[in-house]
Chains A and B, each alone.
Chain A
Amino acid sequence: MKSDRGDIELAGVCKSFDGATYVVDGVNLRIADGAYCCFIGPSGCGKTTILRMIAGHEDPTAGEIVIGGQNVVGLAPVQRRTAMMFQSYALFPHLTVRENIAFALRVRGQSKADRLRVSDAMIEKVRLTQFADRLPAQLSGGQQQRVALARAAITEPRVLLLDEPLSALDEQLRVQMRQELRRMQQELGITFIHVTHTQLEAIALADLVVVMEQGKIKQAGAARDVYAHPHDRYVAEFMGGQNVLSGRVEKVNGASFTLAQAASDGIEVPLQARATISVGDEVDIAVRRDDVALVRPGRDLPPGCTTSLPSRVLAIEYQGYFVKVMLDTVPDDEFVAYVPEKTFFADPFTVGDVVMATWATGSALPLA
């Protein structure tokens, strides 16, 4: 047999169903062997199509898909040694849990004794022994998911592909099954590729988060990287947790530049990696919502803060360990501060109060 490695390389992968519009448009990506990779994006962004192309259920219109050093385009899923877990699990309704899990072995022509031995071991691994003789319809959502996982894993794939695996579950179960997925991935030691539209799911699970929009990769990187250092407005807004502001560059001085603002003195932003900014450019910047501090007018700004924007409190939502304060800082755009619960209630604001929104200058991030 060929390589056991499950590293994947997508090179210039394109897919068009009608020959005119591209659902996947020139995707290049490297996924390390044994990584947990999450594709995230709104519906219709092409993430599921990429998954199905890696799985062998769809052929790319152009480009190469390389798994373990071998171009797999045109090969059947079994030859690729990939396995897919379908969105609604696609368990065979007429077969019991055991028969579902042993299906791949059955079509390979393994003897019944062998089949039973291997499938029962797998059933135990996913803790379904007491349900082995049930039909899928008699299982809960979480149990069905485990059957689907076991059925895919029994083929000993080098890559496991999961199409929105948690979307059919309710909130509580979702968090629980999330951990189970991660545990299985570590136990099997293979590459997992997981498609989702839930940001929380992606950053909780993935070693590699791939943000997509309209068939293109917007940003790919470690979860913390994508969340804390979004490349552009789209990624910042999609991943959430950021306030995005825009404005014209007023002056550039050394390691920072200043963004003109109508209602205040302007925003000072460190240049960081952006060396190409010049006066007059329209620039977007991002400030994390939990970096924003709110100060009553006339009081001193916290140390390290050079920018403060006068704002009115529009709404307040209590979220437990923090309080979400919505402000009118930016006209026609959302601006939110996540204030720690204890800080907020030491001197609580009410709707309509005027406050100064401020943040440490170093935490502002210029976007592409």
Chain B
Amino acid sequence: MSAVLAEMPKSDMSKTVMPATTKAIAPSKGGRSWTFYVLATLFSLYVVALYGPMFCIYVLSFQDIRGGLVFPMKGHSLHWFVDLFTQVRTGDVKGSFDRSIKLAVIVTIITVVVSFLAGLGFRKRFRGDTFVFYMMIGSLVAPGLVLGLGTGLLFQALGLNASWYTSALGAQLSWTLPFGVLVMFAVMSRFNHVWEEAAYDLGASRWQSIWLVMIPVLAPGLVAVALFGFTLSYDEFARSLQTAGSLNTLPLEIWSMTLNVTSPSLYALGTVTTIVSFIVIGASLGTIVLIQKKRGSQAKG
């Protein structure tokens, strides 16, 4: 066979063999069909649309003292970051940041605890469980501004002073709790109730079964609920507007700054808050990875 091939003229061979090979190779040569490129382009545009505006803010926040609110970029320095925390005219950034973090932490703790308990409660069906569930979901659909306005009015009617740690806390919980509970339901659905039964069989009390079995197994899910609670609270605006009282939370402060601050320190603030968000998200994901890694390394040992 090889002898026959060797004797054949070159041109002949390419004529007879080539068409078959090109056909066979074609799909792996191109690798991907045209739809891949269309969808990849679409996705790239989406990413640009998503992050482009924010990126403009970040870039403009690093201008020097001559900087303005629009491109082109004038020099580069950290001037507006210093300005942000030192100048009184830019507003109470430090105080509002402080309040927002505290509020977010309180909201997170309450959301995690209540969602976990709700998750426990909804393991079994009870009378009116669907009603309770829909009532809870209802506050997700209620417009935030209206809900905040109502909360503010109610506090006024009751003769209470609206403040970030009372009325705003309540208004924010009306938003974070349903979310937390929904996430918790998804997490709980993967919890096998036989584990609880096994713990009971081995002599664990209810507390021991929750503490030694449920919480550790559900830990990654609980971190996810915490993350939801924190981020939803940290940048909550609509519900806080009428309920925060005399002292602003950070989103309210930023909003008021957009009305009267005309310097890039506004952008610097955007950059700082974004960094905080990323730190929180990174810490949460890190915790989840750490939990899983700890289990993995234990396992290898």
Contact = CB atoms under 8 A, between A and B. Distances in A.
Given A83-B202, A92-B217, A133 B298 contact: yes
B202 A57 contact: no
A93 B217 contact: yes
Interface of A: 55-57, 76-78, 83-84, 86, 88, 90-94, 96, 103-104, 106-108, 133-135, 138, 151-152, 155
B213 interface: yes
A55 to B, nearest CB: 7
A135 B203 contact: no
Contacts of A151: 202
Contact of A107 (B194, B205, B299): B205
Interface in B87-146: none
A165 to B, nearest CB: 14
A92 B201 contact: no
The contact size tier of chain B is 20 to 34
Contact of B201 (A55, A88, A93, A94): A55
Contact of B212 (A57, A77, A84, A107): A107
Contact of A108 (B203, B216, B301): B203
- Secondary structure type dominating chain B contacts: helix
Interface in B168-206: 192, 194-195, 197-205
CB-CB nearest 7 A-B residue pairs: A78-B203, A104-B202, A90-B198, A90-B194, A133-B301, A107-B204, A135-B299
B298 A155 contact: no
A96 to B, nearest CB: 6
Nearest to B209: A107
Interface in B208-262: 208, 212-213, 216-217
Contact of A104 (B197, B203, B216, B295): B203
Interface residues of chain A: helix, strand, loop or mixed (majority): loop
Given A92-B213, A93-B217, A135 B298 contact: yes
A222 to B, nearest CB: 30
A107 B202 contact: yes
Nearest to A82: B201
27 contacts: A57-B200, A76-B200, A76-B203, A77-B201, A77-B203, A83-B202, A86-B194, A86-B197, A86-B198, A88-B192, A90-B194, A90-B195, A90-B197, A90-B198, A91-B198, A92-B199, A92-B217, A93-B217, A94-B216, A96-B299, A104-B203, A107-B199, A107-B203, A108-B203, A133-B299, A133-B300, A135-B298
B271 to A, nearest CB: 39
A133 B298 CA distance: 6
A100 to B, nearest CB: 9
Nearest to A94: B216
Given A92-B198, A135-B295, A152-B202, 12 more contacts: A56-B201, A76-B203, A77-B201, A83-B201, A84-B201, A86-B197, A90-B195, A92-B195, A94-B216, A103-B202, A133-B301, A155-B202
Point out which of B197, B203, B213 has the most chain A C-beta atoms below 10 A from its C-beta: B203
A135 B202 CA distance: 19
A163 B295 CA distance: 29
A83 B203 CA distance: 10
Nearest to B202: A104
* A76, A84, A94, A104 — most chain B CB neighbours (10 Å): A94
B149 to A, nearest CB: 46
B295 A94 contact: yes
A67 B52 CA distance: 73
A336 B129 CA distance: 55
Contacts of A138: 299
Contacts of B208: 107
Given A94-B217, A135-B295, A155 B203 contact: yes
A225 to B, nearest CB: 32
A108 B208 CA distance: 10
Contacts of B203: 76-78, 104, 107-108, 155
Contacts of B201: 55-57, 77, 83-84, 152
B292 to A, nearest CB: 10
Contacts of B217: 92-94
Contacts of A76: 200, 203
Interface string B289-301: 0000001001111
Contacts of A57: 197, 200-201
A96 B298 contact: yes
Contacts of B216: 94
Contacts of B299: 96, 133-135, 138
B199 A103 contact: yes
A103 B195 CA distance: 12
Nearest to B200: A77
A129 to B, nearest CB: 13
Contacts of B192: 88, 90
Nearest to A78: B203
Nearest to B208: A107
B217 to A, nearest CB: 5
Nearest to B191: A93
Interface in B144-181: none
B212 to A, nearest CB: 7
Contacts of A55: 201
A135 B201 CA distance: 21
A76 B195 CA distance: 16
Contacts of A108: 203
Contacts of A90: 192, 194-195, 197-198
Contacts of A107: 199, 202-205, 208, 212
B221 to A, nearest CB: 12
A52 B217 CA distance: 25
A135 B301 CA distance: 10
Nearest to A151: B202
B105 to A, nearest CB: 26
Nearest to A99: B298
